[in-house]
Amino acid sequence: MLKFLLRRLLTMVLTALCLTFVVFYLTNLPPNLEKLAKSEASARMSDEDVAKWIENHGFAQPVLVRYGEWLGLLPGWTRTEGGVTTGRCIESGQDAATAPLRCGILQGDWGQSTVFKESVASIIGTRLAATGWLMLCVMLVMVPTSLLIGVLSGMREGSRLDRGLSIFSIASTATPEYVSGVVLIALFASTTTGISPLLHEWGWIQGKTLFMGTATSALDKITFWNFTLPVMTIALYGIGYIARMTRASMTEVMTAQYIRTARLKGVGFRQVVMKHALRNALIAPFTVIMLQFPWLLNGVVIVETLFNYKGFGWTLVQAAGNNDIELLLACSVVAVIVVLVTQLISDIGYVFLNPRIRLA
Amino acid sequence: MDALSWGQILLKVALQFIPVWIALALTFGLSIAFKRRLGLYGKLYDSPVGMIGFALVMFWVFTAAFAPIIMTQDPLTQISGMKNILPGTPVRGVEGTWYLLGGDNLARDVFSRMVAGSTVVIQIAPMATLFAFMVGITLGLPAGYYGGALDTGLSFAANLILAFPVILLFYLLVTPEIVTSGLPQYLGMVLFLFPLIFLVVMINSRLYVKPPLRNALIAGVVIIGGWLYLSLLSSPGTKIDVLPPAIDVIEVPGNILIVFVSVVFVNAPTVFRIIRGLVLDIKSRDYVAASQTRGEGPWYIMLWEILPNARGPLIVDFCLRIGYTTILLGTLGFFGLGLSPESPDWGSTINAGRRLLSIYAHPAIVPAIALMSLVLGLNLLADGLREESLKD
């Protein structure tokens, strides 16, 4: 087990290094740097000025060196011009002698965002917290619902209940977030279509719409009315997939010998499902749920853009759309770590839940 | 002229789709009549779920094919006074034409744009999936069959791409700065080579005992395939501009090519993993051992013994993956990446319509429902195929 863990961790670190290097390389291509120079200094710079700016800000070094600096493995660049020393780790007005030698993400220095004019670490912190709430609510809705649907439809394969629930789960996997979000807003949060105008006319609701079409206010205070639609939008897409996995696993368990034995022994159907089948049927969905996190990340980006909820996904879109290199790098580090850690947890959890799997 | 009621709108829309109904009726009539002779495709007609799925898919395929007849307006023309107009409003000054499903925020016909969008999706999604399968098969077969360092390396690379959040990858690949650097085109250069390699290896492994025939076939594949390959990639004014325009037959607009490449790139690793898993399972079968004893080459065994026996799960996954590709294309459009903002594809129109969603819902709802029905059709089709192929 220890050896397996070590090997997995090593692969993980290697993967993270490769991925961050790819992102670093792609965000630091010459056209991006030219754009950065123009947006930071002046939009009407001549080509020589741009080249000089890039040179002065340490972007002219080889990519690998800059990647090392960004990681915090190599000492940050310094240059002395006219008696003034500037450098990656020297803040304006700071004495060059007191500045630290290295400053990268290993030292906890994530850089400065050019869009929000704030330190990247604090942006990522607050945005991740906002997304954390969204994720938590999604999980609370998605996991119980999908397991229930899966178990109910897998319990009696081919029954009418099974057919109905299966169609529902296929339909939900066929509805990406940007479709279900649009449909849900039109149904519940539109002043002209859906049920809101009717309810308003009948005097059942005070406001113009039943739910709110944006979740911006949820940043201050999460309420049922502003958070339901984003949560449902993300959850719907995941429910179908997890439910289908649960159903497959449940039907397999229900045909097993020990279930037949229990039935023949005279145990009631309800008892068989609750006591014998459920525990074994829920092993496979566990992995699927853990592996859903990377998918959720995708959904989060779409939903936060659609509902204007300023969380991690929204930040990622802003960073990517505005050429905010440091922020985009930080976002990708977080995203990659989330994906890799959930993969690791799902592997380890699988071993614990299923004693038949032995690791060399 | 008065605005149409909902019943009239539905009737008018149904009438516009007449060519599609005729084509669907012909397909289903002929297929059901000969279903016992059509193999797995014929068995599809025994499963109601599969039939519904197939009907939905074929509906959009025929819509894409007959799009010029079905459209009531030009999808790009803006008619003044029709901005955000409600469904069923008559076009000003023109007798007998309506904006059947309303107008969008640039006063274009929502119905015609939805129909025009189906052509974009139906052209790109299956082709991109096919290319992803070629890449996945060509790399997955040796990885599973040989194992060892090759397998470790390729699996690591596949996991690397899979660990990338898709949207981040799209943003990185499709932004203008990176497009001007030519990176997506170089990526396309590598990815599009795989179908050629696949065909050549397939012919060579089967026909190496008949050199004249093999040489002729391979020469044909290399010349025609290479020509298509070059004319697909090269376009004037970009980094890759090798073919003179006279023989550059396929003119793909630059941004569509980039979208295509990034969708193939995202899909290929998953296909690779599926193929690898199937090969690992099948290679321990007796018939593989038999052909090994017979002295067949490794590529013959991979392509002519293992691959045909893995076709069931692959066909099912192919259907599901076209649906997933459609969703990815929509995602790209939704974030305004790649395709031009004028483009009538469903993702872009949803993106354009979502800004005024709470007041005028129809410009976004129509393409949203269209996209959902196509993906639903593909998923149902895959489900039906899976059920029928398990019955043997």
Of A36-40, A349-353, B73-77, B332-336, least confident by mean pLDDT is A349-353
pLDDT of B87 reads 79
- Tell me the angle at which helices B311-334 and A177-188 cross, rounded to the nearest 10 degrees: 60
Single-letter residue type at B167? I
What percentage of chain A exceeds 70 in pLDDT? 95
C-alpha separations of A283 from A51, A149, A278, A288, A346 in Å: 58, 16, 9, 9, 11
Q: How confident is the model at residue A196 (pLDDT cuts 50, 70, 90)?
A: confident
Q: Does residue B30 belong to the interface with chain A, where contact is any CB pair within 8 Å?
A: no
Q: Which residues contact B276 (CB under 8 A, 6 or more apart)?
A: B140, B143, B144, B151, B155
CA closest to B183 among chain A residues:
A26
Q: What is the dihedral of CA B230, B233, B239, B242, to 10 degrees?
A: 20
Q: Between residues 362 and 381 of chain B, which touch chain A (CB distance below 8 Å)?
A: 362, 364-365, 368-369, 371-372, 375-376, 378-380
Q: Let me know if residue A311 belongs to a domain.
A: yes
Question: How far is it, in rounded angstroms, from Cα B310 to Cα B96?
Answer: 55
Q: Which segments within chain B are labelled E, that is strand?
A: 89-90, 98-99
* Cβ-count burial A266-280 (b if 16+ within 10 Å, e if not): eeeeeebbeebbeeb
Query: Both tokens of residue B199?
Result: 């065909």
- Chain A residue with Cα closest to B374: A174
* pLDDT at A139 > cutoff 60: yes
Q: At a CB cut-off of 8 Å and minimum separation 6, what does B243 contact?
A: B230, B231, B234
Of the candidates B391, B389, B269, B257, which has an alpha carbon nearest to the alpha carbon of residue B321? B269
Among B167, B340, B92, B9, CA closest to A303: B167
What backbone torsions phi and psi does residue A243 show, to the nearest 5 degrees?
A: -60, -40
With CB atoms and an 8 Å threshold, state whether B379 touches A294: no
From the list B257, B234, B258, the residue with the least C-alpha distance to B247 is: B234
Q: Which of A32, A178, A323 sits opposite B330 (nearest CB)?
A: A178
Tens-level pLDDT at each residue, chain B (392 residues): 667 788 888 888 888 888 899 999 999 999 888 888 887 788 888 888 889 999 999 999 999 999 888 888 888 777 777 777 777 777 777 777 777 787 887 778 888 889 998 998 998 899 999 999 999 999 999 999 998 899 999 999 998 888 888 888 888 888 777 777 778 888 888 999 999 999 999 999 888 888 899 999 999 999 998 888 888 887 766 666 766 766 666 667 767 888 888 899 999 999 999 999 899 888 888 999 999 999 888 999 999 999 998 888 898 899 999 999 999 999 988 888 877 777 888 988 888 888 887 788 888 889 999 999 999 999 999 988 888 877 75
Domain that holds residue A142: 120-353
Lowest mean pLDDT among A96-105, A140-149, B118-127: A96-105
Q: What residues in A contact B166, CB-CB < 8 Å?
A: 298
How are the residues of chain B apportioned to helix, strand and coil, as percentages rounded to the nearest 5? 75, 0, 25
> Using one digit for the tens of pLDDT, what is the confidence trace for B247-271?
666 667 767 888 888 899 999 999 9
pLDDT for A29: 83
Higher per-residue confidence, A292 vs A136? A136
Mean pLDDT across chain A: 83
The whole-model pTM stands at 0.89
The answer as to whether A63 is a domain residue is no
Size of chain A, expressed as the number of residues it contains? 360
Asked whether the predicted pLDDT for residue A357 surpasses 80, the reply is: no
Neighbours of A301 (CB within 10 A): 30
ipTM, interface predicted TM-score of the complex: 0.86
Chain A residue with Cα closest to B156: A15
* pLDDT at B339 (0 to 100): 77
Whole-number pLDDT of residue B25: 93
Q: How far apart are CA B38 and CA B46, in angstroms?
A: 12
In chain A, the number of structural domains is 1
Name the residue type at position B331: T
* Residue A280, both tokens: 């074994």
CATH value at residue A187: 1.10.3720.10
> How do B98-99 and B89-90 pair as beta strands?
antiparallel
Q: Do A173 and B379 touch (CB under 8 A)?
A: yes
The domain limits of chain B are 6-117+346-389, 119-327
- Count the neighbouring beta carbons within 10 Å of the beta carbon of residue A282: 18
CB contact under 8 A, A189 and B160: no
The band of A47, judged by pLDDT with boundaries at 50, 70 and 90, is confident
Confidence of residue A360 (pLDDT cuts 50, 70, 90): very low
Asked if residue A10 is part of any domain, the answer here is no
